[in-house]
Amino acid sequence: MEEDINDWTWTDIVTGKLRKSIYIIQGNIRGEKHWYIILLFNRGEEFIKQYEAQMKSRSINISDWGYVLDSGIGEDPPSEIIDKVTEWTSV
């Protein structure tokens, strides 16, 4: 069962779960570059390690690992998106 991010407490966020759970990833869809900002499901350190290992080995189905917070076409997100992610992850 997927965990609802609305179940996260302020303590979860402040203690770093949010900071450790947001990733910017790039990929190709039908030969076109795309970027994604994803929030991993809150399933602990081992889950994050498994995700990172999976990312190194092959393509993934993002919905198996978390929520897409934003996405777009191109190699990298626009600077305002990167700034927002930086703000989120510097809690």
Asked whether residue 72 is assigned to any structural domain, the reply reads: yes
Which residues on neighbouring strands pair with residue 66, listed in sequence order? 40
Q: How far apart are CA 89 and CA 29, in angstroms?
A: 27
Asked whether residue 60 is assigned to any structural domain, the reply reads: yes
Asked whether residue 8 is assigned to any structural domain, the reply reads: no
pTM: 0.68
Asked whether residue 1 is assigned to any structural domain, the reply reads: no
pLDDT in tens, the chain (91 residues): 445 555 656 555 555 566 667 888 888 888 899 999 888 876 777 888 888 888 887 778 888 888 888 899 998 899 988 888 877 777 5
Could you give the number of structural domains in the chain? Answer: 1
Asked whether residue 49 is assigned to any structural domain, the reply reads: yes
Domain that holds residue 66: 23-89
Asked whether residue 75 is assigned to any structural domain, the reply reads: yes
Nearest to 62 by CA among 9, 24, 91: 24
36: exposed, middle or buried (Cβ count in 10 Å: 0-12, 13-18, 19+):
middle
CB atoms closer than 10 angstroms to residue 65: 20
